[in-house]
Amino acid sequence: IIAGERRWLASQNAGLHEVPVVILDVDDVKSLEFSIVENVQRQDLNPIEEAKGYQKLVDDFNYNQEKLSQFIGKSRSYIANSLRLLSLPEDVLLMLERGNLSAGHARTLIGLNNSVDIAKKIIQKKLSVRQSEIFVKQFRDKKFKLVSQKDSNVLDLQKDLEEKTGLNVSINNKKNNSGIISFEYRDLEQLDKLINIIKKNY
């Protein structure tokens, strides 16, 4: 069974001996792809397991966020936000996997240099997501204070690049309209992904 094993087991437990099925002739690679797609749609996945499933489809099967969105049935922004969770430090990812933080809490921490310390305080204070957003604003480092002063067009472009790459992006546009675009990656896999995106589009 490539996909639907849990439904099949539930049918067995319910005493059903016949269920509708779709028989496909697929190779091992396609079978693995279907299994991953099935897995990321489970209700009991934590946010990191879900994000890693999406990342595997991107890395191993050349999915982009648009294809993921259509195939999984989630919005493109949902997919982008899920992938961005993987840019958080390992300690924060562990808090997510253990259920100490929700995905909503974790998104407020993306890009913060002191995200581990703030995450611990959010857990300790038992803050809601909205309370966490307010709390995080008090701990923004100098880099993010500068972001608030950026031109709205630059911020829109920065957000668009973040959604397309799944990485944290910083655009520093100078007065003469020269500048620097920075992509923050967590490991070599994310770097390879960024390079592949650039090669495919440019």
**CATH code (residue 134):** 1.10.10.2830
Whether residue 69 sits in one domain with residue 6: yes
- By CB neighbour count within 10 A (0-12 exposed, 13-18 middle, 19+ buried), where does 129 fall? middle
- For 163, the enclosing helix (H) or strand (E) is helix 152-165
Question: Cα(185)–Cα(167) distance, rounded to whole angstroms?
Answer: 6
**Please, what's the b/e burial string for 171-198 (b: 16 or more CB within 10 A of its CB; e: otherwise)?**
bebeeeeeeeeebebeeeebeebbeebe
Structure-model confidence comparison of residues 181 and 4, the more confident one: 181
pLDDT digits (tens, 9 = 90+) for 100-154: 999 999 999 998 888 999 999 999 999 999 999 988 887 765 455 545 556 778 8
Share of the chain above pLDDT 70, in %: 91
Q: Are 3 and 35 in contact (CB under 8 A)?
A: yes
Contact assessment for residue 86 and residue 51, using Cβ atoms and an 8 Å cutoff? yes
User: What is the predicted pLDDT for the residue at 7?
Assistant: 76
Beta-bridge partner residues of 173: 179
Which range among 17-21, 36-40, 115-119, 192-196 shows the weakest confidence by mean pLDDT?
Answer: 36-40
Q: Same structural domain for residues 61 and 104? A: no
Per-residue pLDDT at 9 exceeds 90? no
Closest C-alpha among 165, 150, 16, 183 to residue 81:
165
pLDDT band at 80 (very low <50, low <70, confident <90, very high): very high
Q: Which residue has the tokens 């849990």?
A: 6
Computed on alpha carbons and rounded to an integer, the radius of gyration of the chain in Å comes to 20
Residue 170: the pLDDT is 85
Question: Do 2 and 55 belong to one domain?
Answer: yes
Same domain, yes or no, for 82 and 5? yes
The reply to whether 54 and 96 lie within a common domain is no
What is the number of H-type helices and E-type strands within the chain? Answer: 12, 2
Q: Domain residues for 196? A: 141-202
Active site residues: 5
Contacting residues for 173 by C-beta, under 8 A, at least 6 apart: 150, 151, 154, 179
Q: Are residues 81 and 106 in the same domain?
A: no
Give backbone dihedrals phi and psi of 185, rounded to 5 degrees, phi first: -115, 150
Beta strands in 61-133 (DSSP E): none
The pLDDT assigned to 91 comes to: 95
